[in-house]
Amino acid sequence: MFNNLSDRITASLKGLRGHGRLSEADVDKTIREIRRALLDADVAVSVVREFTGRVRERALGEEVSKALNPAQQVVKIVNDELVEVLGGATGELHFAKNPPTVIMLAGLQGAGKTTLAGKLAKWMKSEGHTPLLVAADLQRPNAVNQLQIVGERAGVPVFAPEPGNGVGDPVLVAMNGVSTAQFQQHDVVIVDTAGRLGIDEEMMEQARNIRDAVNPDETLFVVDAMIGQDAARVAEAFRDGVGFTGVVLSKLDGDARGGAALSITGVTQRPILFASTGESLDEFERFHPDRMANRILDMGDVLTLIEQAEKAFDQEEAEKAAAKLASGEDFTLDDFLNQMQQLKNMGSIKKMLGMLPNMGQYREALDNFDESEIGKVEAIIRSMTPEERSNPKIINGSRRNRIARGSGTTVQQINQLLERFKQAQQMMKTMGKGMAGGGMPGMPGGPGMGMGKKSRGRQAPQKQVKKSKSKNPAKAAREQAEAAKKAAAGGGTGGSAFGGGAQQAGQPDLADFDPTQLPPEMQKLLGGR
């Protein structure tokens, strides 16, 4: 969602690099560019004015003028102020001292309340709670039925005594839902209420009546992150008409400009607690202002990536993989398939790569990344016999024909995958000797990542980037980056699933990505030590 805003803000900040000292004109030029970027992203004018004013005041102060690297200090200031605009500290849900905790959802029709109720319930369940969903939206056609379906998918019971479609009293349903939760010993009640296509007094009155009847511990305002500046106006209306304690952003994975996320907290003084980042019930996460600010400034969000990995990866399997590598055993196609399945459990690989730092330069390539190619690799491996997976050397011409027919691919694609796997196998053997683990099979540079439909032919060997001999850390880092850039420009090919070039297929050229540069916690989760 923040791609365009991120690109424009980072581009404006890059213009400050190379300045030994920053003049007032330099700062004002950067502030103007950031202001335009925020306004074009549909951020509320009042929020933009306050944000840029604080940034300018600090950028012209002593913390920048006395800094060894003024440009970097300005980046830090922008990051700090973005965190404040997004809410400062991470917001927390307030649970009742005596269960059940009652959470009421409110918002406009179409904001995604019903689906989000299921996501919140599933998240609560994963946190060890026993939630109950209450179908108090009796206005919208099939709203009750939709919540029952969502509840079934989430594995959470639904209290739905009325069929809906205009039949029944939503206030009575909400009250009876809380009573049922107490009787059945559910510790959390999530009440889904009716919305409207626009703000009107009838809707506000019904929401107030439900609020007064069940006395919720949290009233969460669900807002579509794609509605832009209208988000601030709608949020103010709900704050004044019903009152709410926190905000949940839905559809944060959309293509809109992102102004809602940057406006709501500043306008309403209420924290954003959660964000829905996709259609799946699992694509739901707590909202961390500091991490979101890092994403906007293209600094990545490795902490969220680690949290997703902790949930998706089987720790026992990861330790087995690390022990196998350390013992010098061969890395087989079965091992690769197992690792790839765990990686897929984390969700979209495109989204995961987007959480890594400095991925803005790969934006177009990431947008063109075709995740369906991973399914082809999986189909190829599953079309092999157990013996072929453990010893690919026995896969002769007739076997390749059989595998191609079984997987719906071509012999050429089989050849390319096996060639690429051979390289990955050697890499794993080297990592096992030198690092007793290191990185996870299937990360960029290994088979299954950086895929491309158009890629064909064997992969050219990667150019090695020489380490700088300079003892000056800054100079050494600069020389290393320049060497890496030259190596990439020299025609290095990215990793197609079948061994072809990523760049020519419009896919991310991530073959130079080094998993060992990730934080130690991430390396451990990905099969290292």
**Ligand-binding site membership of 506 (annotated):** no
Task: Supply angle C-alpha 222, 223, 225, rounded to 5.
Answer: 140
Scored b (16 or more CB within 10 A) or e, 279-300 reads: eebbbbbbbbbbbbbbbbbbbb
**Ligand-binding site membership of 109 (annotated):** yes
Residue 75 in contact with residue 161, Cβ under 8 Å?
no
**Ligand-binding site membership of 107 (annotated):** yes
157 prior amide bond cis, ω within 30? no
DSSP 3-state percent helix, strand, coil across the chain (nearest 5) = 55, 10, 40
User: Could you say which DSSP state residue 368 is in?
Assistant: T
Nearest by Cα to 190 from 129, 275, 141: 129
Q: How far apart are CA 11 and CA 30, in angstroms?
A: 10
> SS3 of 167, please?
strand
**Ligand-binding site membership of 350 (annotated):** no
Supply 326's token pair. Answer: 């350390």
Maximum pairwise Cα distance, the chain: 77
Q: How far apart are CA 226 and CA 232, in angstroms?
A: 12
Q: How far apart are CA 346 and CA 304, in angstroms?
A: 11
Distance of CA 275 to the CA centre of its chain: 10
Give how far Cα 243 sits from Cα of 64, 165, 216, 418, Å: 41, 26, 11, 60
**Ligand-binding site membership of 253 (annotated):** yes
Give helix 302-312 / helix 333-345 axis angle, nearest 10°.
120
**Ligand-binding site membership of 52 (annotated):** no
**Ligand-binding site membership of 72 (annotated):** no
Residue 55 in contact with residue 82, Cβ under 8 Å?
no
**Ligand-binding site membership of 66 (annotated):** no
Q: How far apart are CA 111 and CA 119, in angstroms?
A: 14
Residue 282 in contact with residue 122, Cβ under 8 Å?
yes
Distance of CA 285 to the CA centre of its chain: 9
**Ligand-binding site membership of 111 (annotated):** yes
**Ligand-binding site membership of 164 (annotated):** no
Q: How far apart are CA 218 and CA 299, in angstroms?
A: 32
Q: How far apart are CA 47 and CA 240, in angstroms?
A: 19
**Ligand-binding site membership of 10 (annotated):** no
**Ligand-binding site membership of 420 (annotated):** no
**Ligand-binding site membership of 193 (annotated):** yes
User: What does 36-77 look like in DSSP terms, one character per residue?
Assistant: HHHHHTT--HHHHHHHHHHHHHHHTSHHHHT-SSHHHHHHHH
Annotated binding site: which residue ranges? Answer: 107-114, 192-196, 250-253
Annotated binding site for GTP: which residue ranges? Answer: 107-114, 192-196, 250-253
